[in-house]
Amino acid sequence: MKSQATDGPQAPGQASIKTRRFSVSLVWIVPIVAVLVGISLVIHNVMQEGPTITVTFKTGSGLTANKTEVKYRNVVIGHVSEVKLSDDQKSVNATIKLDKQAESFTREDSQFWVVRPRIGAGGVSGIDTLLSGDYIGADIGQANARSKHFIGLENPPPITYGEPGKRFMLHTQDLGSLDIGSPVYYRKIPVGQVVAYALDADGKGVNIEIFVHSPNDAYVTENTRFWNASGIDVNVGANGFAVSTESLSSLLVGGIAFRAPEYSPNDQPASENKTFDLFEDPQTALAPPHGKGQYLSLRFDQALRGLKIDAPVEFLGVEFGKVVSINLDFDAKKRSFPLNVGIVIYPQRLGQAHLKMLEALKHNPEDEAASIKLMGSFIENGLRAQARSGNLLTGQLYIALDFYPKAEKVVFDPTARPVVIPTIPGSLEQLQEKLEGMVNKINQLPIERIAGNLDSNLVELRKGLVQFNARTLPGVQTTLADVSKTLQSASSTLADDSPQREQLNDTLNELGRMSRSLRELSDYLGRNPESLIRGRPDNAAPIDLQPPPRN
């Protein structure tokens, strides 16, 4: 057997060792590099991928999977990957994949909404989507907690992007023409807007949330008053008509104005979320504070046509309350329909009179028992309520509280709630009662008997006048004629320049005037016999007693 050759001498008893060199073909280098690059890309994508969230909307209008973008400040921060119905099929769930840099949008108070063309109280928005299509707008929250499920807004929020300013809450009876986006004015300059509104928990009012931009939020102070600036205010005074409005937009979408009274010493900026009352007009808002209201009840036994809700209530001519209710009642004993009127008064509106009354009587307004006792003492001294006419043209009425010392005494019930104030008939009703009394007295007069007596007296008077004209008057005239002849004879015997002749001429003239007067009297009585009872009228023609002119 032939031995194999070796590279060197081999030691006796040692086996030979064979070695093989490992080599890689160049064909495998490209796939290996591709795999490594792919792995690195996957790792990079996984590391750069942002969170996935779900936003629930009422409808899927404007949402398209893998097309609809999510934007913040008009910068894309994600996109919609899937749109499907919810399990109850009452809403739509949009799955959104956010970018890595948008991880902070998972805060639980973040907001999402669909941006599309809209026309609202704040103006026109979303015009750019007419070309680019709808997209989802986002606003980052401030909470520390995170969430993956959000409820989308149906309308864009009025305030976004953490704009500086303060929010305040206004309370009013009804919303009126206000809406989200309605402007807020300070000295007729828009400084904010309405951002939300909701009913009270008891449903008896409306809470309106407003936002005032910085730095104008510093003008909202502790003593600031807010009022509804919607519409046009028209005032009629001695100088004519006065028309005022905040702006043209307030006529269309409503608005709110605010200002502090001119004299507001030591006034400080209001804290955020402070609650204010929203008044109807600037006059009411800037008036002295109402203070605590006191509800009273009035009961009238006559009709009050013209009395309306919100009609003023006055005390000695000073308005300090209003009518809040008018209800028709039925009195089973009298078989009548009295009217129950509810009013609210604000004693603090009386100003110095109220303050001095508290000091003089040492009265505590918070003590209800003391207040009722004080009201009872006023009623004992003649405090009464009366419905008076405030406008003769429109027939509107108002309630007047005044003291009538001669008013009939009434029994005051301190346990009644609300306190009942006794009433007296209105001024028109009192006048009507007086007229009815006069008519009743006239109706009680014996008119027919008086008329019969007057007729008989006139007959007798006519007979007397006939006798006077037929007998007495001719005799008197004959006597006067004889006297006149005698005086003329005497005058002819006297000298022309003698004083006695002048006196006789004067006497003759007087006799002539007397004769004419008697004739005119006789003629007038014949035509107007009733003048003996009523006298000569003022417009009767005067009797001419001057002698006729001499030829």
Question: What's the confidence (pLDDT) of residue 239?
Answer: 44
Read off the tokens for 383: 């405090």
Least confident of 200-204, 263-267, 321-325, 533-537: 533-537
Between 510 and 215, the higher pLDDT residue: 215
Q: From the centroid of its chain, how far is CA 217?
A: 26
Average pLDDT, integer, range 331-343: 91
List pLDDT tens digits, range 424-441.
887 655 556 666 667 777
The end-to-end CA distance of the chain, in Å, is 215
Confidence at residue 434, expressed as pLDDT on a 0 to 100 scale: 65
Selected residue with higher pLDDT from 502 and 20: 502
The mean predicted confidence, pLDDT, of the chain is: 79
Closest CA to 152 of 197, 117, 128, 116: 116
Query: Per-residue pLDDT for 210 more than 90?
Result: yes
Q: Say which residue, 355 or 196, is predicted with more confidence.
A: 196
Q: Residue 27 phi/psi, 5° resolution?
A: -65, -30
Other C-beta atoms within 10 Å of 118: how many? 15
- Work out the number of other CB atoms within 10 angstroms of the CB of residue 51: 17
Task: Give the list of residues 6+ apart from residue 271 with CB closer than 8 angstroms, or none.
Answer: none
How many Å apart are CA 297 and CA 316, to the nearest integer? 19
Asked if pLDDT for residue 412 goes beyond 80, the answer is yes
Q: Which residue has the higher pLDDT, 314 or 33?
A: 314
Q: Retrieve residue 53's tokens.
A: 């969230």
Q: Parallel, antiparallel, or unpaired for β 49-57 and 92-99?
A: antiparallel
- The alpha helices in 325-446, defined as continuous H runs, are 352-361, 368-380, 427-444
Q: Which residue has the higher pLDDT, 364 or 66?
A: 66
* 3-state DSSP percent of the chain in helix, strand and coil, to 5: 30, 30, 40
Q: What are phi and psi of 371, to 5 degrees?
A: -65, -40
Report which of residues 303 and 172 the model is more confident about: 172
Each residue's pLDDT tens digit, 511-546: 677 777 767 766 776 667 666 556 666 666 555 544
Give the Cα separation of 302 and 173 in Å (integer).
31
Closest CA to 49 of 111, 106, 103, 105: 103
Note whether 349 and 319 are within 8 A (CB): yes
Q: For 68-90, what is each residue's pLDDT tens digit?
A: 999 998 899 999 999 999 999 89
Give the model confidence (pLDDT) of 286-316 as tens digits.
Answer: 877 777 788 999 999 888 888 999 999 999 8
Sequence-ordered list of residues with C-beta below 8 angstroms from that of 393, at least 6 positions apart, any chain: none
Q: Note the pLDDT of residue 31.
A: 80
The pair of structure tokens assigned to 294 is 């006191």
> What's the whole-number mean pLDDT along residues 369-391?
86
Single-letter amino acid code for the residue at 245? T
- Band the pLDDT of 9: cuts 50, 70, 90: low
State the pTM of this model: 0.54
Give residue 136's identity as a one-letter amino acid code.
I
**Percent of the chain residues topping a pLDDT of 70:** 72
Whether the pLDDT of residue 19 is over 70: the answer is no
Q: Is the pLDDT of residue 349 over 60?
A: yes
Residue 2 confidence class, pLDDT cut points 50, 70, 90 = very low
Map residue 151 onto helix, strand or coil: strand
DSSP of 160-201: -TT--EEEEEEEES--TT--TT-EEEETTEEEEEEEEEEE-T
Q: Are 527 and 501 in contact (CB under 8 A)?
A: no
Q: How far is CA 151 from the centre of its chain?
A: 38
Q: What is the pLDDT of residue 348?
A: 81
Closest CA to 291 of 362, 349, 369: 349
Beta bridge partners of 192: 184, 212
Q: Write out the H or E segment, with its range, that includes residue 503.
A: helix 499-527
pLDDT at 406: 86
Confidence of residue 39 (pLDDT cuts 50, 70, 90): confident
Phi-psi region of 357 (alpha: psi -120 to 50; beta: other; left: phi over 0): alpha
The per-residue pLDDT for 237 is 43
Tokens of 191: 């400084």
Q: What is the pLDDT of residues 250-282, one digit of tens each?
A: 555 578 999 998 877 888 999 999 999 999 888
- Is the predicted pLDDT of residue 247 greater than 60, yes or no? no
Q: How far is CA 362 from CA 371, 372, 381, in A?
A: 11, 14, 19
Question: Which residue stretches of 21-108 are H helix?
Answer: 29-48
At residue 407, the pLDDT reads: 86
